[in-house]
Amino acid sequence: MRLQTALASAGVLVLGLAACSSGGGGSSDDDSTITVAYQKTAQFHQLDDLLQKAKTEYEAANEGRTIELVPIEAEQDQYFTKLALMNGSPDTAPDVIYEDTFQIRSDAAAGYLLPIDDYLADWDDWDQFLDTAKQAGLGDDGKTYGVSMGTDTRGLYYNKDLFAQAGLPTDWQPESWDDVLDAARTLKEKLPDVTPLNVYAGKAGGEQTTMQGFEMLLYGTDDELYDADSQKWITGSTGFEDSLGFLETIYTEGLAPSLDVALDASVGARVASELLPQGKLAMAVDGSWLPGGWISGDNAWPEWEDTMGMAAMPTQDGQDPGFTSMSGGWTLAVGSQASDPQAAFDFIALALNQENSLKYDTENSQIAVRSDVAEDPEYLGYNPSFEFFSSLVEYTHFRPATPDYSQISSTIQVAAESVATGQADAAQAARTYDDGLVGIVGADATQAAG
């Protein structure tokens, strides 16, 4: 969906957000009120828990100050659209924003975010943050616009009970894409009522389709999306076409979810809270945060640790380094129209202090970006999956942090869905992507693979 169309069709939603929040929708002329906009879904309650705690603590320590939480109940792409609408008006622009790292550069360039380097210089805790986490909040101008809340990695979840029933090993570690496909085909044959494998491929899934789906394949090939040295985007990539070919294979062979599930905007929530826990899905390429929802909350699944195995995603043919992963993460940022930027930053500093970061990183299965959290015995002992997902950091990749990435990501989603639905084969979809890419960045900003 074009952004202009999305903005037009969702225009009334900002008014709805303002009406549904505790007293308004965005920045207030009253400097005593700090508005905090963030994503909230049925699957994802840990952020809301953190901000509710930080609100109570901040208001107790700052008499006369009010934190107004503005939860945006939407999946990821819809969240970005609604946030853009809010940022478009001084009356609704938030003071503090829950901001995806891949949106930092584009939103900073659009003037939605305030550089916070001067505030960070006076914050002792900033020394606890890893250098990679600090880089995640940088804009194109080299200034810092967000404080990282944690990072993540992605791998292959598999149901050990279903594997055993299908005669597959329960200590499984595939060494190539063919190993994954072979397992999926065995599962389809032996357990016809079970979906063998989920790899996100629908446009409605937004960035989860690009990052948890397509890029988990592409970065296991010998190609990539973007050449950081030449600062050009890649066209004519064999790896790109092969990645689409993998999606084409699993969807045409009936190894993936049915299209009514795969193309549903809530497919991510269904995978985590329904399909995996109920044994309806045998394998899923997904993120390190899933166990956080299984350990506690409305979707708690006490049997997950005994049921689910975790494997690193192999490279295409097992070539070095053998495995691949993707990492991202979210930040808290100060809105450019904040009525009191210092107060907004002070709330972020409190929300992401050692105590609150420990709470959030454990409960949301985040890979800690504060040294004092990463070394804390409580963090290390909370979730048995932390060790595995932390081990994938050495294989991980990051999305190109360019202002035009979000447009390019949407073009990838179109390509992925077109092969999943049979509207195009992998070669056709790859050519369509290349044409779309040139249309976005211009021919001079691309180079042929090779």
Indicate whether 10 pLDDT > 70: no
CA distance linking residue 252 with residue 281, whole number of Å: 17
Indicate whether 6 pLDDT > 70: no
17-32: pLDDT as tens digits: 333 333 334 544 567 8
Residue type, position 225, single letter: L
Indicate whether 45 pLDDT > 90: no
What pairs with residue 197 in β-bridges?
A: 283
User: What does residue 222 show for φ and ψ, rounded to 5 degrees?
Assistant: -90, 10
Residue spans per domain, the chain: 3-152+328-398, 157-326+402-448
Residue type, position 211, single letter: M
Q: What is the pLDDT of residue 403?
A: 81
State the average pLDDT over residues 129-141.
89
Q: What is the pLDDT of residue 21?
A: 37
Residue type, position 189, single letter: E
Provide the edge-to-edge strand list for the sheet that holds 330-334.
66-73, 33-40, 96-100, 330-334, 147-150
Q: What is the pLDDT of residue 43?
A: 62
Q: Which two tokens stand for residue 46?
A: 């840990």
Q: What is the pLDDT of residue 221?
A: 98
Q: What is the pLDDT of residue 132?
A: 81
Indicate whether 9 pLDDT > 50: no
Write the DSSP string, 81-111. HHHHHHHTSTTT--SEEEEEGGGHHHHHHTT
* 16-20, 56-60, 148-152, 296-300: least confident range: 16-20
Asked if 331 and 148 count as a contact pair (C-beta separation under 8 A), the reply is yes
Q: What is the pLDDT of residue 5?
A: 32
Helices 238-252 and 177-190: angle between axes, nearest 10 degrees = 10
Spell out the alpha helix ranges (H) of 263-309.
267-270, 290-295, 304-307
Give the percent of the chain with pLDDT over 90.
Answer: 79
Q: What is the pLDDT of residue 212?
A: 95
Q: How far is CA 122 from the centre of its chain?
A: 30
Helices 11-20 and 76-87: angle between axes, nearest 10 degrees = 90
Q: What is the pLDDT of residue 1?
A: 31
**165: which residues sit within 8 A by CB, 6+ positions away?**
190, 191
CA distance linking residue 112 with residue 87, whole number of Å: 6
Q: What is the pLDDT of residue 50?
A: 96
- C-alpha gyration radius of the chain: 22
178-200: pLDDT as tens digits: 999 999 999 999 999 999 999 99
**186: which residues sit within 8 A by CB, 6+ positions away?**
166, 167, 168
Ramachandran category for residue 286: left, alpha or beta (phi over 0 → left; psi -120 to 50 → alpha): beta
For residue 11, name the pLDDT band (cuts at 50, 70, 90).
Answer: very low
Asked if 159 and 117 count as a contact pair (C-beta separation under 8 A), the reply is no
Residue carrying the six token digits 């959030």: 360
Helices 46-61 and 341-351: angle between axes, nearest 10 degrees = 120
- Pick 157-326+402-448's CATH classification: 3.40.190.10, 1.10.10.10, 3.40.50.300, 3.30.70.100: 3.40.190.10
Q: What is the pLDDT of residue 18?
A: 37
State the average pLDDT over residues 190-215.
96
Q: Whole-prediction pTM value?
A: 0.81
Specify the DSSP class assigned to residue 123. -
User: What does residue 199 show for φ and ψ, rounded to 5 degrees?
Assistant: -130, 120
Indicate whether 402 pLDDT > 90: no
Q: What is the pLDDT of residue 30?
A: 64
- Pick 3-152+328-398's CATH classification: 3.40.50.150, 3.40.190.10, 3.40.630.10, 1.20.1110.10: 3.40.190.10
102-125: pLDDT as tens digits: 889 889 999 999 999 999 999 999
Q: What is the pLDDT of residue 371?
A: 93
Q: What is the β-pairing status of strands 446-448 and 226-227?
A: unpaired
Residue carrying the six token digits 């202090």: 353
Average per-residue pLDDT for the chain: 91
Q: Which two tokens stand for residue 248?
A: 């084409």
For residue 384, name the pLDDT band (cuts at 50, 70, 90).
Answer: very high
